[in-house]
A and B are shown apart, each in its own frame.
Chain A
Amino acid sequence: MSILMDLATPIVMGILLGGLYSLIALGLSLIFGVVKEINIAHGDLVILGSYFGFVGLTFAGIDPMLSLICGLPVFFGIGYGIQRYLLNRAFRISMDATLIIAFGISIILQNTYQLIWTPLSRGLTTSYSVESFSAGPIYVPLVYLLDLIVAIVVMIFLREFLKRTYMGVAIRAAAQDWKAAQLMGIDTNRIYAYTFGIATAIAAIAGVFLGLTFPFTPLSGMSFLIIALGVVILGGMGSIAGTLVAGIAFGLAQTIGGYFFGVSAQMLVAYTMVLVVLAIIPRGIFGR
């Protein structure tokens, strides 16, 4: 009985952390599902969101969530530009080319952050980021709960957007069969750029909440990218519900793994899980 009580905290924390992971993975999953490319730079775009919140907070004292709302169009623009002017061209060359170019973008971003913000570890510290509340015997930091709520809200928005708007339908059409979509008069290049833009905006949201939850460095993108890749693959590419479930699975693996093997092993558990998922169910649990 007591082990169950002890496990209650890691389980609750794992589920809430899973919200953050699925939020980070959501943009990656969208690009993977629609454009069929792996955006290796996704983790670094997430960290760009964290730094964006950091700059607003330290230099103007603006709440990260508020600056995020103003920043979303900017992030959409950045993502749109990357896909439109770089990756759409790489497509025509080969599949490897998109991967290598995304890798190049990742190197550029990481080192630009180091240059501007130094390699020091940063965090977004606001009045609510240190608060926690108790539910029975469990103490839960407020931001963890916020992570899960925001993840679900963003997912519902994305789902409705894809379902009900003209652009959303066009994106789904391009995802299902880009040749048929082109024959129906859809400019797939433009659709891909829009998708990448939306994914980058979601990455920025994830970045701000990541910054509220964890400290980050210019190189943090890589470790979150790896977990996000695991989430995307376990959840099945392009599946929104799958991303949430897989995100929670990874959150739980990390916190419960940390409970049994010590805090330093928790990333190891999550990474090993990525490899196992890739080897055993490369199409994921919700994959088509």
Chain B
Amino acid sequence: MKTAMIKSQKGFLLLITVGVVLALFPVIGAPRLWLLYLFIFFIYLSLANMWNLLAGYSGLISLCPAAFIGLAGYTMTLLTWVGCPYYIGMILGSLAAAFFALIISFPVFRMKGIYFAIGTLVVPEILRYVFIMWVPVGRPLYGGGGGYPIKGVSQVSPALTYWLALAIALISTLLMRFILRSKLGTGLAAIRDNDITAACSGVNVFKLKLVSFVIAAFISGIAGAVFYVYQGYIEPSSAFSIQWLVIIMLATVIGGEGTEEGPILGTLVVVFLYFSLASYAEISLIIQGIILVIIMLLAPQGIIGFLRKIRN
């Protein structure tokens, strides 16, 4: 027990040290390209952490991260159009995503297992059609329907978006550590292993699942909002695209679903693939699909699971 505590503290210190070093990068004048790679890494890592919380720890194969990302991005964008500064828009946007998660939990939590996956798959598609048709403010500029530039973010320095993304990546990683060592984490582990037994032992299955779903929506939302601050515009087809899910699922599965370090390693691999194959977009996705299938067949616990197996 004591050694586990020390090990855990070591991990915490390592995380903080790495965080501080990464935070210094823009100050010491790291190349712009590096900052971009790291920025994308931070965003994907936050999203993968939250997907891992749901799929790896709560037994919820959620196929709707794009709903939270797009909704938070859109709320922020629309708020900047009515004169709200983007940072308030970011917070309100992620609150909107969390609130949306709360609302859709009523229909989708009635579905179990594979039905839950189908239900959540439909949600971003519905939102995409809503935002293609609905043009709430101004005139549509980008894309077919409600595409907008985000007002007041052209002055935001790349360093600031970098720090924001870093902060969210750190928060999401620390939050995972915290959740897994809390009562919520033990309850979730019990649910994942056998939800009926957990319910019989007095675990409030619905409540715990709902809490992790809403937390995941909030953090995914804020990560999405930061991404759109960097991108400067938003449009429905990419905001609610299944592409988000592909990246997030790939990052989590490659690293190791249901392991704490998995998303970090997996996101590293995904970002590396993303940039090294950037000029061959289609081939890149085919390769990613093949990797997804192979990893799932040969090492379902991902890289982390594979390493653990070797060590034992």
- Neighbouring B residues of A101 by C-beta, 8 Å: 292-293, 296-297
Q: B102-154: which residues lie under 8 A (CB-CB) from chain A?
A: 106-108, 110-115, 117-119, 121-123, 125-126, 129-130, 132-133
CA distance A114 to B112 in the complex (A): 34
- Are A279 and B107 in contact (CB-based, < 8 A)? yes
CA distance A104 to B285 in the complex (A): 10
**B246: CB under 8 A from chain A?**
yes
Among B108, B111, B253, contact of A100 (Cβ-Cβ < 8 Å): B253
Residues of B within 8 A of A (CB): 55, 61, 106-108, 110-115, 117-119, 121-123, 125-126, 129-130, 132-133, 242, 246, 249, 253, 257, 282-283, 285-286, 288-290, 292-293, 296-297, 300
**A272: CB under 8 A from chain B?**
yes
Among B106, B112, B296, contact of A97 (Cβ-Cβ < 8 Å): B296
- Are B289 and A99 in contact (CB-based, < 8 A)? no
Query: What is the interface residue range for chain A against chain B?
Result: 35 or more
**A229: CB under 8 A from chain B?**
yes
CA distance A89 to B297 in the complex (A): 7
- Are B114 and A99 in contact (CB-based, < 8 A)? yes
A-B contact pairs, 27 of them (CB 8 A): A37-B114, A38-B117, A38-B118, A40-B121, A86-B297, A93-B300, A94-B300, A95-B114, A100-B296, A101-B292, A101-B297, A103-B292, A105-B289, A107-B288, A108-B286, A111-B285, A111-B286, A111-B289, A115-B282, A115-B283, A222-B242, A229-B122, A268-B133, A271-B122, A275-B122, A275-B126, A278-B122
CA distance A103 to B133 in the complex (A): 28
- Are B61 and A99 in contact (CB-based, < 8 A)? yes
- Are A108 and B119 in contact (CB-based, < 8 A)? no
CB distance from B301 to the nearest CB of A (A): 9
A89-B297, A268-B129, A279-B110 in contact; A103/B249 too (CB < 8 A)? yes
- Are B246 and A107 in contact (CB-based, < 8 A)? yes
